[in-house]
Amino acid sequence: MRGVTQAGLGVLALVVSAGVGAATVVVTRPPAGPVTIAAAPVSAVPSATSTRRSSIPGPRVVATLRVAAEPGGVAVSPDSRTVYVAGQSSRFVSVIDAATRSVTDVRVPRPPRFVTVARDNSRAYVAMYEDDGSHSGIAVIDAETREVTKVVATGPQPYDLAVAPDGRVWVPIHSAGRVEVYTGDELRRVVTVPVAPNPHSVRFGPEGLRAYTPAHESSVVSVIDMWDDSVRQSVPVSKAPHSLAVSPDGRTILVACYDADRVDRIDSLTLRRSGSFPVGDKPQSVTFAADGRHAYVADEDDNTLTVLNVRTGATTAKVRVGRSPRAVAVAPDGLYAYVSAGDDNTVTILRVSP
C-alpha cells in the first residue's frame, strides 16, 4: 500500500469526508513486522446509509442515450458529473455529461473494453485490445480536454480495471492470470500480482487494505493484501464469476456468476459465502446502490436489470433495459444508475433514489 503513515500501533481512524459522506479509513501500522487484518466489530464501521441518498427497491427508467458501437464498460466520475462508456466495436469512448445528457465521443487507438476514473476526476483510464487480444494497453483521457494524453502497453486482454484508494490503477490481465498495478500519474507498472486464471475485474475495500478479483475460469475470488500486494486467500464461488462489487461500508462483497445465473454474497470479515441468490440469465455485472441497501445486476441474456435487497437477497424489481446489458454503474451521489446495452448501442439511465 502506498501513501500511508507507518507509525503508531495499527490504529484505525475513521474520518467522514465532507462531500458525498463516504467513510475513509486512515490506517497506521508498526514500522516493521507482519500486519494482521482484524475482524473489526460492526460498530467500528460507520453506516453509509445515514449519510448517502437512500435507494429505492424499484428504479425507473428516465432516459436512453445513443453511444458508440457495442457499449461495454461504464464508469461514473467520483463527482457524479461525467459518465464514460467504452464502445467495444468502435475506437471511441462516449463521454456523457450527467446534467445535460449530451454525448461526446473521444477516439482512442484501439477498441476500448473497460474504463475507470481517477479519484480527482481529472482523467479516465481505458483498457483496450483487439478481438484477438493483440495491441493490449491502457489509454489515458484528459477529462477537461477530452483528448488521449498517454498510451501504455499491458499484458494480453486488460479487463475491468479500477483505481485503488491510494490512486494506483489495478488492471486484471484476463489471458495471463495476473493483475498489473500502475502508478496513477505516469502510468508506470510497479507491481504484478499472480492470481487464479482469467481475472475479470478488481475492486477494493474502502479502507484500502484489500483488493478482490473474481476469476472466471477458476470460479474463485482472489483476496489480495494491499500492504504487500500478494494473494492471501481464494474464496470459492459459483460458476464463472464475471464481476464483483464491495459495499460502501466494506462488509459485503457481491459476485455476479455468469454461468450460474446467481449472485453470491461474501462476508468480508470471515471471507466466507453468506448467501447465493438467483438473478436473471447470464449476470454480467453487479454494483451497489450508494447507500448499500440495494444491488443492481445486469442480466445479459434477459435484457433486464435485477434489483436485490442486499440484506435478504430477495429480488425487489426486474427492470427492462436495452438488449444485451453489459455493465451497470451507479453515480456516487446515489441518484442515477447507468446500464450499457451492447446490442442496442445505448445507455439506459435509471433513477435509483426518490
Q: In order of start, what are the domains of the chain with their CATH numbers?
A: 60-351 (2.130.10.10)
Which candidate, 236, 221, 318, places its Cα nearest to that of 279? Answer: 318
Q: What are the backbone dihedrals phi and psi of residue 341, each rounded to the nearest 5 degrees, phi first?
A: -120, 105
For residues 102 and 98, give the distance between their C-alpha atoms in angstroms, rounded to a whole number: 8
Residues 6+ away with beta carbon under 8 Å from 342: 70, 71, 72, 88, 300, 323, 324, 325, 326
Q: What is the pLDDT of residues 39-87, one digit of tens each?
A: 333 333 333 333 468 999 999 999 999 999 999 999 999 999 999 999 9
CA dist., res. 54 & res. 352, Å (int) = 8
Q: 277 in helix, strand or coil?
A: strand
C-alpha cell at 132: 484477438
What is the rounded CA–CA span in Å between residue 333 and residue 294? 15
| pLDDT of residue 110 exceeding 80 | yes
- Give the residue from 292, 299, 255 showing the smallest Cα distance to 275: 255
Q: How far is CA 209 from CA 91, 164, 191, 218, in A?
A: 35, 10, 16, 24
161-187 mean pLDDT: 97
With cut-offs at 50, 70 and 90, classify the pLDDT of residue 38: very low
CB of 110 closer than 8 Å to CB of 103: no
Per-residue pLDDT at 54:
96
Question: Is the pLDDT score of 200 beyond 60?
Answer: yes
Contact 182, 218 (CB under 8 A): no
Closest by CA position to 268, among listed 304, 302, 238, 233: 233
**23 vs 159, residue with greater confidence:** 159
Counting beta carbons within 10 angstroms of the beta carbon of residue 351, is it exposed (0 to 12), middle (13 to 18) or buried (19 or more)?
middle
The answer to whether 332 and 352 are in contact (CB under 8 A) is: no
Share of the chain above pLDDT 90, in %: 85
Q: pLDDT for 129-161, tens place per residue?
A: 999 999 999 999 999 999 999 999 999 999 999
Least confident of 31-45, 196-210, 293-307: 31-45
Q: pLDDT-derived band of residue 12, with 50, 70 and 90 as boundaries?
A: very low
- Cβ pair 117, 77 in contact under 8 A: yes
pLDDT surpasses 70 at 32 = no
pLDDT at res. 247: 98
